[in-house]
Amino acid sequence: MGPLQGIRIVELAGIGPGPFCAMMLADMGAEVLRIDRAQNVTAERPKTPSLDLLNRGRRSVGVDLKHPEGVELVLRLLERADALIEGFRPGVMERLGLGPDVCLARNPRLVYGRMTGWGQDGPLAHAAGHDINYIGLAGALDPIGRAGGPPVPPLNLVGDFGGGGMLLAYGIACALVERQRSGKGQVVDAAMVDGAAALMTIFHGMRQAGYWSDERGTNLLDSGAPFYDVYETRDGKWVSIGSIEPQFYRELLRRTGLEGEDLPRQGDRAGWDATKRRLAEVFRGKTRDEWCEIMEGTDVCFAPVLSMGEAPQHPHNRARGTFVEVAGVPQPGPAPRFGRTPPKIERPPAWPGEHTDEALADWGVPAGDLAKLREAKAIA
């Protein structure tokens, strides 16, 4: 199952973007072995699966990376692996004895994936940071927000996941394709500041062309335009409107009953505020469900703004199977779709070290070696 079936990946446990990258690859059929810290392994694990959904689809082994035999074990695993995922600060892997030079010497075909915020080099490379900092420096945070207000953090979607974990998954996939030609592995340096900047490419082009202002909340896609915004409904819920193209805007006016009113032209930016006030007034006249009856499935470019609890129940998401249930836990399913090699979530999230013996045995570690490693406290 999945287009990456047969690919083996070692993941050194981290937070946020690293696990998301590993989840993406595991969803696509790769066998990802998660290396958790032996210190995080408990003697008695809960009987229910972990709810850390980013860890789904892969097994976990507990290894002490500060123990020489634990490091050697990881190197043995990498000899059988196609790729590595690590998310430590620059220099940490080298100090552990697992830097790129050492790992690629053991396996020249290894794709060595590195996930950081600032990148492996540069003045800030060794500084601490989080998504909000990386997208701030990338110029991706400043444009998000309403006119007259502060920038609004878009959860941690832009840095951690879009510009981070997904960028690393893409980089690893690219390196695996290139390896088919060269026969050689390489290092993939995925930095969230780079990825967040890349996501902003279209806006840099619009800005250079004079179509985008640095004043947030005044542009086409940042809530400045009345035809690309969210509106509150009579029951305190919200709907989203994206009627950018003229024919879609005409449909919006028709279905809101504003078709015959003397409103400013769609492209008249000076009249945007007046049009927005009128649309807001109209949308407050009906409930969200009533607007869905009028607009959903039309060319208005409309959708209700659903909560996380509501989204899995929407008929479109149900029909496509956008959300799935694994071990009784509803969650977003694998994406994208494939016609011939459909992806699948192989297992629920593992507790740290849950599969130490069985997974290491499957990766070629003899039972006698497992006993010696456990006696030496190199594994949990």
316 is catalytic: no
185 and 156 in one domain? yes
363 and 253 in one domain? no
Give a yes or no: residue 338 inside a domain.
Answer: yes
Q: What domain range includes position 248?
A: 228-232+238-304
161 and 46 in one domain? yes
349 and 269 in one domain? no
Prediction pTM value: 0.95
Give a yes or no: residue 295 inside a domain.
Answer: yes
3-state SS of the chain is CCCCCCCEEEEECCCCHHHHHHHHHHHCCCEEEEEEEHHHCCCCCCCCCCCCHHHCCCEEEEECCCCHHHHHHHHHHHHCCCEEEECCCCCHHHHHCCCHHHHHHHCCCCEEEEEECCCCCCCCCCCCCCHHHHHHHCCCCCCCCCCCCCCCCCCCHHHHHHHHHHHHHHHHHHHHHHHHHHCCCEEEEEEHHHHHHHHCHHHHHHHHCCCCCCCCCCCCCCCCCCCEEEEECCCCCEEEEECCCHHHHHHHHHHHCCCCCCCCCCCCHHHHHHHHHHHHHHHCCCCHHHHHHHHCCCCCCEEECCCCCCHHHCHHHHHHCCEEEECCEEEECCCCCCCCCCCCCCCCCCCCCCCHHHHHHHCCCCHHHHHHHHHCCCEC
Q: How many folded domains does the chain comprise?
A: 2
Among candidate residues 27, 36, 160, 189, the one labeled active-site is 160
81 and 192 in one domain? yes
160 is catalytic: yes
Query: Residue 56 is part of a domain; what is its CATH number?
Result: 3.40.50.10540
357 and 265 in one domain? no
Give a yes or no: residue 25 inside a domain.
Answer: yes
161 and 58 in one domain? yes
79 and 32 in one domain? yes
Tens digit of each residue's pLDDT, the chain (380 residues): 899 999 999 999 999 999 999 999 999 999 999 999 999 998 887 888 899 999 999 999 999 999 999 999 999 999 999 999 999 999 999 999 999 999 999 999 999 999 999 999 999 999 999 999 999 999 999 999 999 999 999 999 999 999 999 999 999 999 999 999 999 999 999 999 999 999 999 999 999 999 999 999 999 999 999 999 999 999 999 999 999 999 999 999 999 999 999 999 999 999 999 999 999 999 999 999 999 999 999 999 999 999 999 999 999 999 999 999 999 999 999 999 999 999 999 999 999 999 999 999 999 999 999 999 999 999 99
Give a yes or no: residue 3 inside a domain.
Answer: no
Among candidate residues 121, 126, 130, 362, the one labeled active-site is 130
22 and 99 in one domain? yes
